[in-house]
Each structure stands twice: as C-alpha cells, then as structure tokens.
A = this chain, B = another copy of it.
C-alpha cells in the first residue's frame, strides 16, 4: 500500500459500512491508509479490512486530516452534521444517507448514468436510495433511446433495506413460526414473515410514503428530467436481500421488447436474464451477491402502443448502496 489514497469509512460497524469495506477489498480500491469511524457506542471496537484489524475512531474533525475520500453510511441527521465538517478537513465525502441527496449544491450520482455530475462536486456527493438505483439503472438506456414519458414503478423490497434490525426481524419472526410460537413484530409495524407491508418510511398528506417520494425526486435529479412523470408504490416483502421492481414505462418513441433487451444488455452494470418459458428471470436469491442489476420479463405493453413492462432485481446492499458509493469514489479520484 505504498501508493494509493487515504480512505475513511464512517458508520463502519453497520450493515452498509461493513459491505463498503468488503466492496473496497473486492474492487481492489487503492487504499493506502484506512480510517474507520462510528457512533460513540462502537468507538474502540475493531473492524477487519484486508485481513487487518482497524480500530474504530470517534467522528471529529482532526481525525479526518489527510483523508482523500470519506464514504459515509451514517443516518441522515448525522450525515447533515458530519459531511460539511469532513469536507472542510479536505476530504471528498460520498454520502449514502438521505441527508444531502436533494441539496441543489450536492450531485446525486449513479456512475453509469451521470458521472459528469460528480465532477461538479463542492466536497459532498450523494449516493441515491437503494430502490431508486435499482429502478433508474434500466430507465437510463430506455430514456436515451426513446425518451421516457411516464413510469409506473411497483417495488418488492427486502428487509435488509431497513438495516440489520430488518434482517433480524424477519429471521426471528420466521424462527418463532418454525418453533410453533406466536410471532410478535418488534421492528416493523406489522409482522413481515409471510406478510407484505405496503408502507416504507413516513407518509405525507398526499398519501405517498417517503420511500415513494425519494423514487420520484431522486430519479428526476439523476436523469436530469425535473418534470419526469413517475407513479411509485413501494412495498416491504419477506425477502432478506435484493430489491425487485416491476416497471411500466411509456416512451415517446416505440422500443420493441427485443431492442429493449439489447439496450439493457449493452448498458454497463445491467444484465439480461429473460427466458421465462425456461424459468429464466431474475429473482432476489439468484441476484444476491452480484453487483449488476438484472432485468427480465421484458415485454411490450398490450395496453399502450409505446409502453414496455419489465422486472429488475438488484442487490440493494451492493449496487443499491456500497458498490455505488465506492464507484463514486473511484470516479472522483480518477478525475
């Protein structure tokens, strides 16, 4: 590690932070020095990176001196507080929280889609919400080829999107069921084992959830289409990892299903698995652990002359979170 950069991982003990460390290793990110940070209760713990133990530090300005890039997986409130402080210390901050995404001075970046936006950063770059990333990846090549007019997106979201406690809730509820015991929901508002919860995040007066509004606003910002018409429904499902989205797109110019498959296959970070008669389509279990988002069930919409339906699945801990953030870090270090 003689050459390379000094990297800070903030929130290093959480699910997203742990995945960030794993992705930095997998992608052979040029880490010269790694500094790990977390909230007060984790300070002093040790996390593992490339076989070495790294002691977790307290988040305070002097500790970021000399850091080139900081990848933050903290909550929105902490991110609002920490990111400017870390940026002032001289690091580029890649923030995964909801705290900065819609700030007009902060680029919101999916490297395959809008890398140019990242280059205009002022110290902080935001990585989008997991469901947004999985949905916007296949939207981009369709938009470039046939201009999107309207998108109806309906999600099937894994419990790990709600963090370690979401995973534990599904695990514990299912184990209680297996033991023949009563299931008591302790984390989600309702039982999630063998159930569906059509509500993610808080609700506004118009009846849309925070998760649904993120899908609208972030997709518009990433595609640089502030008026794009998007109709979202987001639902939590009893799946551990990978978000799936059933997408209906109306286009300005007709794109056949065959051409859409070609466009998806040619787009970096997307793969096509689409032979449903042979039981070949993406499922959460088959996509888990992959960085690519996988598209299947591509078909022309019989209800509209220029619309398509498709089904996209992405590992929301990887491309939906850690992989995208590390890709942003790679992008800004290269430029």
Contact = CB atoms under 8 A, between A and B. Distances in A.
A278 B216 CA distance: 23
Contacts of A248: 152, 231, 233, 248
A276 interface: yes
Contact of A151 (B190, B195, B244, B303): B303
A248 B243 CA distance: 20
Contacts of A206: 299-300, 302
* Number of copies of chain A assembled together: 2
24 contacts: A150-B303, A150-B304, A154-B246, A156-B237, A174-B174, A174-B177, A178-B178, A178-B179, A195-B239, A195-B285, A196-B284, A199-B279, A206-B299, A206-B300, A208-B302, A229-B302, A229-B303, A230-B303, A231-B304, A231-B309, A233-B248, A233-B309, A238-B238, A238-B239
Given A152-B248, A237-B238, 10 more contacts: A174-B177, A178-B179, A190-B285, A196-B239, A198-B244, A198-B296, A203-B276, A208-B299, A208-B302, A238-B238
A235 interface: yes
Most chain B CB inside 10 Å of its own CB: which residue of A237, A240, A284: A237
A175 interface: yes
A277 B150 CA distance: 27
Interface of A: 150-152, 154, 156, 170, 174-175, 177-179, 189-191, 194-199, 202-203, 206-209, 216, 229-231, 233, 235, 237-240, 244, 246, 248, 257, 276-277, 279, 281-286, 296-304, 307, 309, 311
A242 B285 CA distance: 23
Contacts of A152: 152, 248, 303
